[in-house]
A and B are shown apart, each in its own frame.
Chain A
Amino acid sequence: MSRLAVDHHAGAFTKNARIDLRDTQQRQNLRKATTTIRAKREAVVAEVEDWEELRERGRQIKAAAMADLDTHLLTLEASVQRAGGVVHWARDAAEANRIVSDLVKAEGSDEVIKVKSMVTDEIGLNDALAAEGIRSHETDLAELIVQLGDDTQSHILVPAIHRNRAEIRELFRAKLPDAGGVSDEPAELAEAARRYLRETFLRVRVGVSGSNFAVAETGTVGVVESEGNGRMCTTLPETLITVMGIEKVLPTFDDLGVMLQLLPRSSTGERMNPYTSLWTGVTEGDGPQNFHLVLVDAGRTDVLADEIGREALHCIRCSACLNVCPVYERAGGKAYGSTYPGPIGAVLAPQLNGMNEGSDLPWASSLCGACYEVCPVKIDIPKLLIHLRSRTIEEQGGPRGEAFAMSVLARTFQHRRRYEVAQKLAAKGSAPLSKDGRIEARLPGPLKGWTAVRDLPAVPQESFRDWWRKERG
C-alpha cells in the first residue's frame, strides 16, 4: 500500500496513556470521582419507573433530529429570528471564531464572560479571541482552575478533577488578587472564586455560551448547569452570543421533557441540576437585548455522512460513558488528545477530523460495552468503535505485518490438509513454551504486546480431530 500505514500500537493515545498512567494523583482523583458519580447515577436511575423506555425515546428523538437536520435547522433559524434573535452559520472553526470576534468588536467590547461550552473549546475560541485582543473570562469553577493554571481539561463534566484541593489552593493564592490566605477547604476555595468572578459578571457586557439543546419549534435555547455562572452569563450582559454545534437541535419543545430527565440523572447523578435556563430570543426589560446564535458545522456533516458513525452526533455530553470506562479511569482524559475524551471521544473525535489523522482512538477500548449500557441516548459505542477501526484500516492501511498474517491464516484455514499441518506444527512449537497447560512467556514479534499482559492456553498435544479419529474412527 502506498498510503501511510497506521500502526495503532504506536499511536498517540497509546503513547500518552503510558505516560499518564504513571500520574498517581490523577488516577486517585479519577477513581474517587468516577466511583462516586457512578453510585449517584445508579441510585437516581433506579428511581425512574422505566429508564430503558426513556433511553429509547431519547434515542428516537436524536435520530429524528438527525434524519431531517436541514429542515430542523431552518425551522430553528426562523423561530429564533421571530423571537428577536440573529442566526449565523459557520462552516468551520475559523469562520465561527471570526463571526464571534466580529460580534464582540461590534459591541465595542474587548472582553467576554463565558460559560463552559465544549464546542467553543473544540474550535479554539478563546485563543482566536485573544489574537483579536479580546479577553475571554471563563466562569465555571473548573474552567477557571484550568485557565488560571494554563492547563487543559481532563473530563467533560469536572474538567479539573485531575487537581486536588491543595493544588487549587496554591493556584488561587498565586493568581487571584484577593485570595492570599485561603485554605484548601472546598467551601473557602469556592467562596474565593465567587468573589473574584462576581465583579467580572457585573462588569462585562458581552456573554458567550454554548447550548445543551435548541428547540427548532420555538427557538428556545437551553443551558443546563449547577453553579449559576450560566445564568450570570446569559442574563446580565447586554449581548449574548451562543455558539452551538448543529447536532444539538431538537425538533419540538416536548422533546425537552425527555432530555431534562436523561441528562441530570446521567451526568451528575441528580434528579435535577440546580439551574436550567431556557430562553427564546430576547425579552424586553429582562436579560440581553441582543441575542446571536452561531450554528457550527466544523466536521459534523462529515460525521453525518457515515450511516453508522453518525450516531455519535446523538451525544448529549453527559459524560456517563467516561465515568464507567475502565480505560478512561486509568488513562485520564488528556491522553485522548481531544476536546472530547473517553468512549464518546474515541468515536467522535476521529470522525470530526474527517478520519484524516490516523487516530488510534478507535483502539482505546477493551470493547467491554459498559459505555453503551449507560449512554442515556443508547449510542452503540462498541459498534461504532469497530466500524471506525475497519474504516481506518481500509482508508489508511493497517500494520503490514498484521495484514500479512491475516492473509496467511486465511489461506491456511481454507484447506483441511494445510489446517491440520498447521495444528501439528503449533502443538510442537508451543510445547517448549508451555508450563502446566499455559504459555506465560512473552512472545516476540506481533504477539509481544498481547502476551506481555495476558497468558495463552497452550496448544494441546492431541488435537480434537485426532482424538475424534481415535475414539470414533
Chain B
Amino acid sequence: MTAAREEILARIRGALGPNRPLPGPLHEPGGVDVDTDRSRLVERFAERVADYRATVVAVTAADVGVAVADACARAGVRRLGVPDGLDGASLPDGLSVGGDPNAAGIIAVPARPGTRADALAFTELDALVARTPLAIAETGTIIFDGGPGQGPRAASLLPDVLIAIVPASVIVGGVEEATTRMGAIVRESARPLTLVSGPSATSDIELDRVEGVHGPRVLDVVIVTADHR
C-alpha cells in the first residue's frame, strides 16, 4: 500500500513537472442573488420546498405541536420517532417519549444513536419528527448535522414520513452561506451532514419523475416563525 502511494505521488509530480501552473486568484463569491430580509427568506424557502411537492406550513412556536399532530394525522402515523433534545412542546398533545399512546393513538418512540441493530429498528417507525439546525431558502433544502433534536441518519431515512421543524432563524439565503456554516460544524466535530431537498425521486424510467423510491416519500415541513409576525 505504501509502495502504491509513493508511486502515485511520484507519477503526479512527474506529470506536473517542475513548473506547476499557477491557479491564479480565485473570484470573490457571487452566485445566486440572496435576499437577506428574513420574512422574504421564509417565503422563498416555503415556495421552494412546496415545489418539491412537500407539504409546508408556517406556524408560531405555540402551534408547533398542533402542526406535527396534523402531519401525523394526514399520513396515518402511529409510531412516531422522537430524537433526544427535541423540545416536548414540539410534540402532539399528550405525547411523551416512552409513554402511552395519546388520544389520537400515536406513540412516541425514542430515536437515538446506537448500534446498527438499533438503526435498522427505525423501519418500525411510521415517521420521524426532527428539528433542523440549518436550511437554505434558494433551494428549499433542509440540513441535518447529527446534533440534538435530529437523531442518527438512519432515523430520517428509514421511516416513510419525515416531519421537519424548521425555525425561521436557521434559514439562510443561498448554498454558499449554508456551506460556510456546514464547514464550521465539520471542522469542529466532523459530524455527518445530510442535505434534503424534497422527497426522494427518480427519473430513470423514461424520465417520468416518480417520488419516493428509497427514503421518505412524505416530507412535511413546519416552519416556526417568530411570534410578532
Contact = CB atoms under 8 A, between A and B. Distances in A.
Interface of A: 29, 32-33, 36-37, 47-50, 53-54, 56-57, 60-61, 63-64, 67-70, 73-74, 83, 88-91, 95, 139-142, 145, 158-161, 163-165, 168, 186-187, 189-190, 193-194, 197-198, 201-202, 205, 217-220, 226-229, 231-232, 235-238, 246, 253-254, 256-258, 260-261, 264, 268, 270-281, 283-287, 295, 297, 301-302, 304-305, 310
B15 A305 contact: yes
B75 interface: no
Given A219-B190, A227-B215, A235-B157, 20 more contacts: A33-B206, A60-B23, A68-B20, A83-B190, A89-B1, A91-B7, A227-B214, A228-B157, A228-B214, A231-B153, A231-B215, A236-B119, A246-B12, A264-B139, A271-B138, A271-B139, A277-B193, A283-B191, A295-B8, A297-B8
Contacts of A220: 186
Interface in B178-217: 178-180, 182-183, 186-187, 190-208, 210, 212-215
A50 to B, nearest CB: 5
Contacts, number: 271
Contact of B205 (A60, A141, A301): A141
Contacts of B4: 88-91, 95
Contact of A257 (B13, B29, B201): B29
Contacts of A89: 1, 4-5, 8
Nearest to B136: A272
Nearest to A219: B190
A250 B94 CA distance: 49
Contact of B27 (A47, A60, A190, A301): A60
A277 B214 contact: no
Output the residue of A56, A272, A284 with the most chain B CB within 10 A.
A272
Given A198-B214, A235-B153, A283-B146, A272 B197 contact: yes
A48 B201 CA distance: 24
B197 A304 contact: no
B215 A275 contact: yes
Given A91-B4, A165-B206, A227-B214, A63 B23 contact: yes
A161 B203 CA distance: 9
A236 B116 contact: yes
Given A88-B1, A91-B7, A279-B192, A201 B197 contact: no
Contacts of B179: 253-254, 256-257, 260
B194 A231 contact: yes
B149 interface: no
A280 B190 contact: yes
B203 to A, nearest CB: 7
User: For chain B, which range describes its interface: under 10, 10 to 19, 20 to 34, or 35 or more residues?
Assistant: 35 or more
A274 B1 contact: no
A257 B175 contact: yes
Contacts of A197: 214
Contact of B213 (A190, A270, A286): A190
11 contacts: A29-B206, A54-B31, A83-B190, A161-B206, A232-B157, A246-B8, A256-B182, A274-B200, A302-B15, A304-B11, A305-B15
Contacts of B110: none
A90 B5 CA distance: 8
A412 to B, nearest CB: 40
Contact of A60 (B24, B29, B30): B24
A287 B191 CA distance: 11
Contacts of B183: 218, 253-254, 256
B98 interface: no
Nearest to A251: B23
Contacts of A261: 31-32, 175-176
A160 B213 contact: no
Contacts of B33: 49
Interface in B133-153: 136, 138-141, 146, 152-153
A276 B26 contact: no
B26 A61 contact: yes
B113 to A, nearest CB: 3
Contact of B187 (A49, A232, A253, A257): A253
A187 B210 contact: yes
Output the residue of B29, B52, B183, B206 with the most chain A CB within 10 A.
B206
A139 B20 CA distance: 41
A218 B207 contact: no
A258 B176 contact: yes
